[in-house]
Structure 1
Amino acid sequence: MKYTLGILALCTILAGAQQPPTPSLSEARQLFTQGKLDQAFIQLDTLAKQTPEPTGVEHLRGLIFYEQNNLTEADAAFAKALAQDPKDTEAMQMRGVTLFRMGRAADAILLLEQARASVPDANIDPNYVLGVSYMQVGRNDDARHAFAAQYGFPPDSAQAYLLAARMFFHQENTPAARASATKAVQLNPSLPLAHQLLGEIALAGGDTATAITEFQKEVLINPLNGEVYDRLGDAYLRNKQYPEAQHALDRAVLLEPNATGPYILLGKLMLGRQNPVMAGMYLERARQMDPGNYIPHYLLGQVYRAEGRKDDANREFHAAEQLQSSHPSTMETPH
């Protein structure tokens, strides 16, 4: 009888040893950090069957869905995580970031305003998301404050206004960009890059005279900024002020020898002055520096055609067309 009981006890022990161990949330997190997302999901699915479901399971599930760009599933998981733990700040912010990426800026704001701590797993600064969300609903002052917080600027400083202006300009909100940059200059007339941005805004709107004035002001403040000479040269070129354009672009090349922009503009300038030989020199340099940019190829096609080099011209036009079609979002019409 004692022998029989011993066998039964041994069988029970062996049967228990054959059962897979219950996964832990920390193991699932480790799999996530190792990039083993499918294995992490298996662990989470097992944990989710427990009653009650351990806190943190849906939080981690949401992070994995977010990493996979499955935003709808991520939103649902973060919503469940917040239902389990309303004080889960990271899940709150991550849901806000997710809603923002889903195009639901107004809903994102409500969550992001409640939780403003940093989120290391978001791969995006929540202050930036909050700022852009404010922009999308027309809350421009709040947007400026959010962007200022991202960079540690006083919320109503000249730097904050200039930063907001750049963000508005990137979002193609020209009136707000101009108003914010103008305010920055009013607060600090010597603020570097403020007049340059006003010049870029004017140039984008086709107002070359104002652009030239603003770029000239920037040169006085920041005379070693190669980019402003590039922009000034572009404005002069559009205004057909060729000597002034060449003077500015020569300075740009000296200050920014590795930038293709000044060489492309010098090529355009020489084409405008009916000097294809010099144009080809600049544009071949630009093509060598950035072979994936279609503009040097397109302009070189014009140069070679002017020189009677039909085969070379066709080759460059074909290359430009291929590069254009492969990158339609970056297409630009050469001036």
Structure 2
Amino acid sequence: MAPRGLALFVLSIALWPQAPDAALRRATAAHQAGDLETAVTAYRECLKADPANLTALINLGAALSRQGDYSEAIKVYKSGLKRYPKNQTLSLNLALAHYKMGSIPEAAQELEALHAAAPDNRQATLLLADCRLQMGKNAAVIELLAPLNKREPDDLGVSYMLGTALLREKRDEEGQLVLEPIFRRGDSAEARLLMGVVKLNLADFPGALEELKKAVELNPKLPSVNAYHGLALMETGDTAAAAEAFRKELALNPTNFPANLNLAVLLKQEQKYDEALKILERALRIRPGDFGVRYQQAVIALVQGRTEESRAVLEALVKDAPEFKEAHVTLATVYYRLKRKEDGDRERAIVNRMNAEEQERQAKAPTDATRQPRQDKTP
């Protein structure tokens, strides 16, 4: 059982029992028989004669998607929406095509509009929640799914996504309460994964590793399980095994953001800069503007000798994220290399101030480590 409740999303097909012409009848028959090449050709013939044929537009896009030609399917759906801007099937199929291409922000944009127009569209709601979850918009996931969870507390897909968002927000008690229907099912991969996430949040890395190792053994194809297993391996010092776990996750789900980012970090450490940069570009498509991704790109630019490029990225980054201490540290280094001592001194002073403030907070904080959850690397 896939708890996310959306692994079985399929593209909608508007097959008519009584096709209006021979081309459409031939296309739908081929489509139903799985002969996608014939179906695509026949749908195009139909649209050549009647460009406004809604059934042919929807089914052509669906057939192209089944062939894996999502880019062409997106063109078809967009052309259909120009004629039928309020058609929910076209909108949902367009979002699904973006989703299956790994273009999560584009899928989310379409789904936000569809959800606003049709808030009772369950498939759109669940897919939007998944997109928000992948983009790290955990509070938005909670806002979207909390009402649905109250109405349907035993829906495991809703419980899983909502509970995951709550755990990421460090709302562990609420998250475990929402996830109770999954825990009740006994020793499952889903339950082990979620307990592993809780232990990661509490900085119990050996305990998290034990839970996540068992989760992988129970179901190695469970979404995100390899990514979290990789994170636990990183935290316990086994970077080689961590990289392997991240690669396993990406083989199943290329849009998993933590797996992309953390694998790129490990590749950077191994000085495999070109491969790391390619993966960082993919991560940035999943979460545009992400501070962590931009920082890693700047660091790689610096070590590759592209100092001015690194400077530009870091200056923009500290403007957008003024409390990002590592970015200030690296920017100071960049300025000194560029012989801009005054600017470097300014950045160093900012870092010194931030260190002093952090020491003051630590002095006032509780000493019991179990009360101080870690800063999660998978926001």
Give the drift of 1:207. 2.5
Q: Tell me the CA shift for residue 158 of structure 1.
A: 0.9
1:148 is displaced (CA, Å) by 7.2
Deviation at 1:152, TM superposition (A): 2.5
Residue number among 180, 198, 221 corresponding to 1:167 in the alignment: 198
| 1:277 counterpart SS class | helix
Report deviation, 1:225: 2.2
Report the CA distance between 1:163 and its aligned residue: 0.7
Q: 171-180 or 247-256: which moved more? A: 171-180
**Which AA in structure 2 matches 1:291?**
P
Gaps of 5+ in 1: 1-127, 129-142
Asked if residue 152 in structure 1 is aligned to residue 206 in structure 2, the reply is no
Task: Give the whole-Å Cα distance in 2 for the aligned partners of 1:208 and 1:267.
Answer: 22
For the aligned residues, what is the CA RMSD?
2.8
* TM-score, normalised via structure 1 length: 0.52
Equivalent residues in 2 for 1:109-258, closer than 5 Å: 147=176, 150-153=179-182, 154-258=185-289
The structural deviation recorded for 1:150 is 4.1
Where does the alignment leave 5 or more consecutive residues of structure 2 unmatched?
1-162, 164-171, 363-373
CA-CA distance at 1:175 after TM superposition = 2.3
Whichever residue aligns with residue 194 of structure 1, its letter is V
- How many Å separate the matches in 2 of 1:181 and 1:228? 15
2:224–2:256 CA contact under 8 A, matched in 1: no
Selected match of 1:316 from 327, 344, 347: 347
Aligned to 2:291: 260
> What is the CA–CA distance in structure 2 between the aligned matches of 1:287 and 1:277, rounded to whole Å?
15
Q: Tell me how far 1:321 sits from its aligned partner.
A: 1.8
Say whether residues 1:301 and 2:332 are aligned partners.
Answer: yes
Say which SS state the counterpart of residue 278 (structure 1) adopts. Answer: helix
2:310 matched residue in structure 1: 279
The alpha-carbon deviation at position 277 of structure 1 amounts to 1.3
Mapped to 1, the partners of 2:178 and 2:261 lie a distance apart of: 31
Whether the aligned pair in 2 keeps the contact of 1:203 and 1:235 (CA below 8 Å) is no
Q: Is the 8 A contact 1:301 1:317 kept in 2?
A: yes
Q: Secondary structure at the match of 2:229?
A: helix
TM-superposition CA deviations, 1:82-102 (whole Å, max 9, x none): xxxxxxxxxxxxxxxxxxxxx
Q: CA offset at residue 288 of structure 1?
A: 2.1
8 Å contact from structure 2 (residues 206, 236) kept in 1:
no
Q: Secondary structure at the match of 1:292?
A: coil
Q: Which has the larger radius of gyration?
A: 1
Quick check: 2:205–2:235 contact (8 Å CA) kept in 1?
no
Superposed CA offset, 1:196-219 (max 9, x none): 111112222332221211111111
Deviation at 1:186, TM superposition (A): 1.5
Aligned-partner Cα distance in 2 for 1:239–1:155? 40
Q: Which amino acid aligns with 2:321?
A: D
**Residue matched to 1:292:** 323
Tell me the CA shift for residue 263 of structure 1. 0.6
Amino acid at match of 1:223: P
Deviation, 1:149, is 6.5
> Structure 1 counterpart of 2:190, which letter?
Q
Contact 1:148 1:163 in 2 (8 A): no
Instruction: Supply the distance in 2 between the matched residues of 1:286 and 1:178 (Cα, whole angstroms).
Output: 33
Tell whether 2:355 aligns with 1:327.
no
The answer (yes or no) to whether the contact 1:165–1:181 under 8 Å persists in 2 is yes
Aligned-partner SS, 2:305: coil
Shift of 1:226: 2.6
> Following the alignment from structure 1 to structure 2, what is the Cα–Cα distance between the partners of residues 218 and 281?
32
**Sequence identity, in percent?**
26
Partners of 1:277 and 1:227 lie apart in 2 by: 28
**Superposition deviation, residue 325 in structure 1:** 2.2
- Native 8 Å contact 2:192 2:212 kept in 1: yes
SS at match of 1:319: helix
Deviations 1:177-207 (A, max 9, x none): 1121111111111111111111112222332
Q: Is the 8 A contact 2:246 2:259 kept in 1?
A: yes
Which structure's relative contact order is higher, taking Cα pairs within 8 Å and 6+ residues apart? 2
